């Protein structure tokens, strides 16, 4: 396991206080060297309380301009809309995990 995940967590960006700008999000996480978790709550129009999904990702790679995230990153979805607490994890394929030549990730 990664011992750093057991330490204190510090928000790099919060839409409630930092606004809903992708540029502000990018500025908050760029060049951050620690592991990162991003959570986005998604609610369909007219959804009742608890009828939302959360999508997100986890990466251990430092944030830099470019693409790629290495093999130790993944996307996930926590679906509360069906009431069964469905969890889906999407891991990178071997080709997707390898950054393009000269391209830093994620």
pLDDT in tens, 64-78: 776 666 777 889 988
Q: Are 28 and 21 in contact (CB under 8 A)?
A: no
* Domain ranges across the chain: 33-106
Please compute the mean of the pLDDT values over residues 1-5 and round it to a whole number. 54
Rounded Cα gap, residues 95 and 47, in angstroms: 38
Residues contacting 103, CB < 8 A, separation 6+:
66, 67, 68
Element (H, E) at 55: strand 53-59
pLDDT in tens, 23-46: 998 888 887 887 888 888 887 776
Mean pLDDT of the chain: 76
């Amino acid at each position: 396991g990664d011992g750093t995940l057991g330490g204190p967590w510090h928000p790099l960006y919060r839409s409630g206080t930092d606004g809903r700008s992708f540029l502000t999000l990018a500025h908050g996480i760029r060049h951050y060297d620690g592991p990162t978790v991003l959570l986005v709550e998604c609610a369909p129009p007219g959804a009742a309380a608890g009828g939302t999904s959360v999508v997100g990702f986890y990466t251990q790679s430092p944030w830099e301009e470019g693409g790629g995230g290495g093999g130790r990153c993944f996307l996930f979805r926590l679906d509360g809309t069906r009431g069964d607490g469905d969890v889906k994890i999407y891991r990178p394929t071997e080709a997707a995990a390898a950054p393009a030549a000269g391209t830093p990730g994620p």
